[in-house]
Structure 1
Amino acid sequence: MTPPESTAVALELAELRRTMEVGFTEQRGQLALLVQRGDQTDKTLDDHEKRLDAIERNRWPLPAIAAVTGVGALVVSVWQALGRG
């Protein structure tokens, strides 16, 4: 190889290295964006889970009240059917 050819190869290798570095930098940026979006999604899911838990906790008395009311209505109906009312 003559010196000009080795210089050309060195320049091409430097250009290739620069291109690869730019590509890797872009990929790192895209991956960082995906990680950030994933973190935001995790926070949103956690928030929704907390809200759902709060709704479920506040709703538990409704079936119990309905059951007690039903039993009370049954007792009153039986009482009246037996002629005690």
Structure 2
Amino acid sequence: MVTAPDPLGPVVITARDIYDALIKLTDTVNKLVGQGSGHDDDIRDHEDRIRALERGRWPLPSLAALVSIAALVVAVVGITSR
């Protein structure tokens, strides 16, 4: 009977090693979750600022269109009054 070689070789991983690694992983995940929860306020603040900028910019294209129409009217009136 031929047995397969141990893939880990002489390395021995105990249940305690697995438990310690799991505790470290759990602590790391908890820290990351804690850091992520603080970003919600920042995201909301940025969203509010972007919306305010968008509201402030909408008159610019409208104003440009009105000036163009006014220039066209002045040009047409100038041509017809000659």
TM-score by length of 1: 0.64
Shift of 1:37: 2.9
Q: Which residue is 1:83 aligned to? A: 81
Q: Which residue is 2:58 aligned to? A: 60
Shift of 1:20: 4.2
TM-score by length of 2: 0.66
> Taking CA–CA contacts closer than 8 Å with sequence separation of 6 or more, which of the two structures ends up with the larger relative contact order?
1
Q: Percent identity?
A: 36
Report which of the two structures shows the higher radius of gyration computed on alpha carbons.
1
Unaligned 5+ segments in structure 2 are 1-13
More helix by share: 1
Shift of 1:39: 2.1
Give, in whole Å, the separation in 2 of the partners of 1:39 and 1:81.
65
Aligned pair count? 69
Unaligned 5+ segments in structure 1 are 1-14
Q: Which residue is 1:7 aligned to? A: none
Give, in whole Å, the separation in 2 of the partners of 1:50 and 1:68.
29
**What is the RMSD of the two structures over their aligned residues, measured on CA atoms?**
2.2
